[in-house]
Amino acid sequence: MCGIFAVYNYQGDINAFRQRALFLSKNRGAQVYVPFNAWNRHSRIRHRGPDWSGCIVADNSILSHERLAIVGVDSGAQPLTNEDGTLVLSVNGEIYNHKHLRNNLKHDYNFKTHSDCEYEEHGADFINLLDGMFSFVLLDTKRNRVIAARDAIGITTLYYGWASTSPETVYFASELKALNEECDKILSFPPGHVYDSDSAEPKTRRWFEPTWWDESRIPTADVDYKHLRESLERAVRKRLMSEVPYGVLLSGGLDSSLIASIAARETEKIAQELKKKLQNGNGNGSPDEDDLIDESAPASWPRLHSFSVGLPGSPDLLAAREVAKHLRTIHHEYTFTVQEGLDAVADVVHHLETYDVTTIRASTPMYLLSRKIKAMGVKMVLSGEGADEILGGYLYFHYAPTPEELHKETVSRVKNLHTSDCLRANKSTMAWGLEARVPFLDKAFLEVAMNIDPRLKMSHKGRIEKYVLRKAFDTSDDPSARPYLPDKVLWRQKEQFSDGVGYSWIDSLKSSSLQVVSDAKFEKAAERWPLDTPLSKEAYWYREIFEQWFPQNACTESVVRWIPREDWGCSSDPSGRAQKIHEAAYEKPAEQ
């Protein structure tokens, strides 16, 4: 991934604005957050792309780019232009089917790079052909037209904004902090949408229209365990596209462990296929799957590395150690202290650009781990976000009153992943120039998993959450099969990441907020913030930090908080431990 900043239709001297644009893409200057040294400087979006910077001025627009080189490392600097300079493109993301798209173009092109972001043929409808995670801004100088888009679920981050003094100008950026000093209206660019300056109002329209999007349409399909398993395996295989060292985030929970298991198998498989092709003198050929998948990574990184983080002795560290031993990964285990976590909270809020309690709790360990991973020279990791939303995996789903209500909740949670888990995975890692890829949010896998009858996703009568996913990877009925995971990991109860890193982490956040926020301040919370009023001292603390980093009202309006389903009888605390079902002990259930 990378960082992008663009200004379209600037009303003024665009060449004079160039230095300002570079500044907005690079540094935020003397920081706002007062407890720190005022001379400290924090990156706006350069942390997202530490490998190279680019900037192009065209007519009254400007595109700036901060690059993290993962594919096409020796080339691919951005912004990209076509041969006559009439198209200018700045992209954040990865296009997994780029080779397939190149090989199926109707005309010959003189490609300037080996990257996955260079296309010119299909017009605005090309977005539907892309398989990957992406945000981009494309400028057509012939027509003074700009097209911007964001991937289907919002795995990558993108914002756009306007200044009331110049409403004709549109600003785009990967992060809020590049816009907050220029714009008094800032919106999170909606996932699965495209903005086209040539369109009639509204200029932003949805391009992603899957079969499962309508919450009122309740699926009735039975689960095909083989199809479900193979869809996820293929999603992981796609995401091994890389020319740099990569690994997997391994918490020891079901989701990350399955991704690690599949990645380990696929890495071995691809390495064997490449070796066989080289022996047959066909080192430059394509695999049986044609050119749909770029298999460059395992050739230079043939054994999987796994990474876990937690407080000493935490549940996740112990479980991850067992999974890594089973998978024979090269495992890296990092511990942090409660104080180190508390010291990082202000920076985490700065990078995440949210005050949502759940997101900050989980992001802090991920933020600390990402720094360790990047220090090893690793630039890309696979992660397990999305499975709980897709398959009803959170413990509060046990309280879903009906299958229909469960399905509506899963659709709603997937639609809003860009405000929570996707935001966390993207910004916690990209704070250090590390890219996270999320196989569970593959469009093809979503089509399979979101169309399963919700009765089969219900957690009831002793059935553990995400039963269908566990069953799809359960090989216990075939003694000759190689197990994906140890049985006690495959059937381990859900442990939310912020809990699994060590129970004292959340407990310490709560106790610290009691020291920071006085009773008198908290009593006036509604007076200070009549909209989206914090409901706890911990929430108040994060809101206060956020406001010190981002005092503009436009920034606050871009934040979405997740509130547990109290109408289902759930605790208002988003921690999994706050749910009574957390204490339940499960045995591997019989199929129902």
Q: Could you report the per-residue pLDDT of 264-292, keeping only the tens digit for each? A: 998 888 777 777 777 776 555 444 444 44
Whether 116 has a binding-site annotation, put simply, is yes
Whether 249 has a binding-site annotation, put simply, is yes
**Does residue 528 surpass a pLDDT of 70?**
yes
Whether 383 has a binding-site annotation, put simply, is yes
Active site residues: 2
Bridge partners of 519, per DSSP, are none
Q: Are strands 305-310 and 330-335 parallel, antiparallel or unpaired?
A: parallel
Q: What is the mean pLDDT of residues 240-252?
A: 88
Tokens read off for 268: 């071995």
**Does residue 259 surpass a pLDDT of 90?**
yes
Residue located via tokens 């999305």: 386
Q: For 405-435, how does the pLDDT look when each residue is reduced to its tens digit (9 = 90+)?
A: 999 999 999 999 999 999 999 999 999 999 9
* Cβ count near 546 (within 10 Å): 23
Domains of the chain plus CATH, in order, are: 3-206 (3.60.20.10), 229-583 (3.40.50.620)
Burial class of 363 by CB neighbour count within 10 A (0 to 12, 13 to 18, 19+): buried
What's the pLDDT score for residue 125?
Answer: 75
527 versus 36: which is more confidently predicted? 527
What's the pLDDT score for residue 486?
Answer: 92
What's the pLDDT score for residue 32?
Answer: 46
Q: For 149-187, how does the pLDDT look when each residue is reduced to its tens digit (9 = 90+)?
A: 999 999 999 999 999 999 999 999 999 999 999 999 999
Helices and strands per DSSP (H, E), number in the chain:
20, 19
Q: Is the distance from CB of 62 to CB of 55 less than 8 angstroms?
A: yes
Whether 476 has a binding-site annotation, put simply, is no
Q: What is the mean pLDDT of residues 85-114?
A: 78
Quick one: which H or E segment has residue 57?
Answer: strand 52-58
What's the pLDDT score for residue 296?
Answer: 52
Q: For 37-81, how does the pLDDT look when each residue is reduced to its tens digit (9 = 90+)?
A: 333 446 799 999 888 888 999 999 999 999 887 776 665 578 999
